[in-house]
Copies of this chain bind each other. A is one copy, B any other.
Amino acid sequence: MTDPQALDRAACAARDTADPLAPLREQFDLPAGVNYLDGNSLGVLPRATAARVQDVVTQEWGQGLIRSWNSAGWIDLPRRVGDKIGRLVGAAPGELVVADSTSVNLFKVLSAAARIAQADDPARRVIVSERSNFPTDLYIAESVAAQHGMVLELHDIDAIPARLASGAGSDVAVLMLTQVNYRSGRMADMAAVTAQAHAAGALMLWDLAHSAGAVPVDLNGANADFAVGCGYKYLNGGPGAPAFCWAHPRHAERFWQPLSGWMGHAAPFVFEPGYRPAPGMQRYLCGTPPVIGASALECGVDAMLAAEPLGGMAALRTKSVALSELFIALVRQHLAGSGLTIHTPLDAAQRGSQVSLGVPADGSIDGYAVMQALIARGVIGDYRAGDGTAAEPHLLRFGFTPLYTRFVDVFDAIQALAEVLARGEWREARFMAKAAVT
């Protein structure tokens, strides 16, 4: 923060002018008249993607047909794009593969973790996670736990250290957390929490859905055990893009994962009747790779890797923190007394790349309608319902994606939000359709 006092639009514009990362925005096709602060739900379209997808469809598929499995490198896509994502999350080449959805990948790695834990110590029968983890993680964990005779135990995030500490964690098989909580934006210290899990003898599984491309991640540096992540949020891979999974090399070959499809076979084109898992992470592939989606994802990852000469994830993180600090400062300046509360940690070290604002527990503001009114003004964040209490409020969620979000965007968003509230615009904005996908 060069000048925390200067919070007017001109000062924000000056910061954009001085921003060495500003040219990265040119890589994206952003809709006119839209201030998009929802890249934590669905990332934007890289300029390169449309042409690349068209080439995959018309040339590689249309002209090359089956020959493209070799000539266009389709068969290597899961590893090629995986290696690129690995550079963003501290995974070495060959350690990370692109495949399936985040939910399906979680099933694979959590099943492997459960098998390893059971083999090493059958008394470890508990999978621990955060109560407010993204639900699909909990649903998948519920299924994996049931299949392995384990139980899924949910805790508030602050209660987890005690659950693991000094002998209390001797029954814990796996700690499974999303590093950045999708609601609050609170970020866990990956190395510290992994060390806590290991000290208790448990395996550590990270969901990087709101981390990969958003904050620096070092899976090997943190000595994590397993990870999954999403391709369509900060990685800008497109709606429903393929996801990814990683296992520490010490685990990658210990067990089959249960989705033992032919692409994870040691010799997929020999067509043997019996399964023999491929070496390393390739065994975490299952069916035929989704070529069009994986090619689009590669464009998104490439757009992120374009930041490497400018300082890479560390530089993006610095800008991300500056954006969220600015947002918080502007909330305090313009929304004091509005009833909205800041539901995201004020300590930047505990914050991902989003800020969530809670609506008052007294129900005096309809957060859903506020977001619809903002969207009508071209400011796109999203709304996530809670139970409406002060502890778990309904949320207005704003994501900052330093590849393309500008300081003026943050300024304009707060101005719009202040006006929507001051003018009561949201009272008229209850017309729009429901539900966006986080």
Contacts and interface: CB of A to CB of B under 8 A. Distances in A.
B273 A63 contact: no
Given A140-B259, A262-B136, A65 B44 contact: yes
Interface stretch (A19-27, A80-88, A232-240, A313-321): A232-240
Given A70-B434, A291-B238, A293-B292, A100 B104 contact: yes
A256 interface: yes
A62 to B, nearest CB: 4
B45 A290 contact: no
A290 B290 contact: yes
Contacts of A42: 61, 65-66
Contact of A135 (B36, B65, B272, B296): B272
A6 interface: no
A71 interface: yes
Contacts of A287: 100-104, 136, 240, 243
B262 A103 contact: yes
Interface stretch (A8-16, A52-60, A200-208, A327-335): A52-60
Contacts of A34: 65
Contacts of A337: none
Interface in A31-74: 31, 34, 36, 38, 41-42, 44-45, 49-50, 53-54, 57-58, 60-63, 65-71, 74
B260 A140 contact: yes
Contacts of A265: 135-136, 139
Interface stretch (A158-166, A377-385, A409-417): A377-385
Contacts of A269: 434-435
Interface centre among A132, A294, A434, A437 (most CB of B within 10 A): A437
A261 interface: yes
Contacts of A345: none
A218 interface: no
A299 to B, nearest CB: 10
A274 interface: yes
Interface string A239-255: 11111000000000000
Interface in A287-315: 287-294, 296
A143 to B, nearest CB: 5
Which interface class (under 10, 10 to 19, 20 to 34, 35 or more) fits A?
Answer: 35 or more
A154 interface: yes
A432 to B, nearest CB: 8
Contact of A31 (B41, B62, B70, B259): B62
A115 to B, nearest CB: 10
A66 B381 CA distance: 9
A258 B241 CA distance: 22
Contacts of A385: 270-271
B291 A435 contact: no
Contact of A61 (B132, B135, B238, B274): B238
9 contacts: A44-B65, A61-B239, A75-B435, A100-B101, A136-B261, A138-B274, A140-B261, A154-B273, A239-B292
In the A-B complex, the 9 residue pairs with the smallest Cβ-Cβ separation, listed nearest first, are A101-B287, A103-B261, A136-B262, A45-B62, A239-B291, A103-B287, A139-B275, A70-B433, A240-B290
